[in-house]
Structure 1
Amino acid sequence: MTQRINYIQQSPELFKKFLEFSNALKNSAIEEAIRDLVSIRASQLNGCGFCLDMHVKEAHIHGERPLRLYHVATWRESTLFSPRERAALAWTEVLTKLPDHGVPDEIYERVLTQFNEKELSDLTFAVMVINGWNRANVAFRTVPGSADKAFGLDKANLA
């Protein structure tokens, strides 16, 4: 795969602002492990190899178990995820692939059993952010692993 343009170099101020917005999620009401799962699942759905590679490595660095990482794509069938994680993954999927008639009440109500309103709002922003990154990296074919050193992902020792 060959990268098209380097959007970071072409739009440095916008990249900086989006990165600040993205980093603000670290102080949100959503725990790191769920943010990792959300980023991985959205990246799988969007076919973003760069982001999938990055977030699997981040999750590994954060202590996530390898088997759970393997199971993210099949989370519905897996017994490795808590009800809260399942709700976050369902919310990620419905917001990433918006249905023609919006988010079904059944999914919204199910997710509200695991997240309070503040947490659900923060979770929604987490889904929005990863979908934004996915769209930029898919559009410009950012090469997976190409920013490992810059983001400290070489520490994952997964290459």
Structure 2
Amino acid sequence: MTQRIDYQTQSPELFKKFVEFSLLLKQSAIEQSIRELVDLRVSQLNACAFCVDMHVKEATQHGERALRLHHVATWRESTLFSPRERAALAWAESLTQLSAQGVPDDLYERVRTQFSEKELSDLTFQVMAINAWNRVNVGFRVVPGTYDKAFGVDKSGLF
């Protein structure tokens, strides 16, 4: 795969602001482990090889178990995820693959049993951000591993 254009160079101010937005999410009310699971699952759904690669490496560096990362694609059938993690993954999938009817009320009610209003709002911004990153990286065919050193995931040991 060959990258189409370097969007960071072509739109430096937009890129800078979006990175700032994404960095703010690290201070959100959502714990890092859930943010990482959500980023991985949304990236899988959007077939973003760059982001799947990066988020697996990042989660591994932060201590996530390999088996859980393998199970993210089949989280509904897996016994490795907590009710809170399952709610986050369901919410992320629903927002990523919006149906014509929107997000079902029963899903919203189920997610609200696991997250406060603030947490749910922050989780939604997390889903928004990873979907945007997926779209720019898929659209411009960013090659997996290209920015490992810049993102600090070159130390994951997954090479």
**TM, length-normalised to structure 1:** 0.99
Check if 1:7 corresponds to 2:42.
Answer: no
Check if 1:53 corresponds to 2:77.
Answer: no
CA RMSD of aligned residues (A): 0.4
The within-5 A match list for 1:20-39 is 20-39=20-39
1:91-121 residue CA offsets vs partner (Å, 9 max, x unmatched)? 0000000011110001100000000100000
Structure 2 counterpart SS, 1:154: coil
The within-5 A match list for 1:86-105 is 86-105=86-105
Structure 2 counterpart SS, 1:51: helix
Q: Displacement, 1:136? A: 0.2
Q: Displacement, 1:75? A: 0.1
Please tell me the residue identity of whatever aligns with 1:67: L
2:136 matched residue in structure 1: 136
Structure 1 counterpart SS, 2:158: coil
Q: Displacement, 1:3? A: 0.4
1:120 matched residue in structure 2: 120
CA distance in 2 between counterparts of 1:23 and 1:62 reads: 16
Q: Displacement, 1:135? A: 0.2
CA distance in 1 between counterparts of 2:40 and 2:151 reads: 17
Structure 2 counterpart SS, 1:153: coil
Aligned identity (percent) is 74
Q: Displacement, 1:150? A: 1.1
| Structure 2 alignment gaps of length 5 or more | none
Structure 2 counterpart SS, 1:107: helix
Q: Displacement, 1:127? A: 0.2
CA distance in 2 between counterparts of 1:84 and 1:22 reads: 22
CA distance in 2 between counterparts of 1:125 and 1:151 reads: 21
| Structure 1 alignment gaps of length 5 or more | none
Structure 1 counterpart SS, 2:76: coil
CA distance in 2 between counterparts of 1:56 and 1:129 reads: 17
CA distance in 2 between counterparts of 1:26 and 1:152 reads: 15
CA distance in 2 between counterparts of 1:7 and 1:24 reads: 21
CA distance in 2 between counterparts of 1:84 and 1:49 reads: 26
How many residue pairs align between the two structures?
Answer: 159
2:74 matched residue in structure 1: 74
Runs of 4+ residues deviating >6 angstroms: none
CA distance in 2 between counterparts of 1:126 and 1:153 reads: 20
CA distance in 2 between counterparts of 1:105 and 1:74 reads: 23
**TM, length-normalised to structure 2:** 0.99
